[in-house]
Amino acid sequence: MIIVYTKTQCPECSKVKFGLSAAGVAYETRNIEESDQYKQEHAQYGYSAVPVTVFPSGKVLVGFDHGDFSMELGL
């Protein structure tokens, strides 16, 4: 399962979620503003920014880059 670490008011997060939904890919969002557990998980990746997307392959992408997402999803 793809995991997307987000915040409530995050335009880049919305782009990631929209792109994944448009590609028909299942994902789970974890809002770091609503859960200390999710905030701690997000911190383990070493980024202060969101979105942070973690793929089942172990690949981690920060922000939204259409090319990187397409390549990771095999589109």
Average pLDDT over residues 67-71: 88
| Domain 2-73 sits in CATH 3.40.30.10 | yes
Q: Say what the pTM is.
A: 0.93
Residue 11 host element (H or E): helix 11-22
Average pLDDT over residues 37-61: 95
pLDDT of residue 75: 80
Tell me the two tokens of residue 13: 């997060």
Higher pLDDT, 5 or 69: 5
Report the alpha-carbon distance of residue 38 to residue 64 in Å, rounded.
Answer: 20
Tell me the two tokens of residue 74: 């095999």
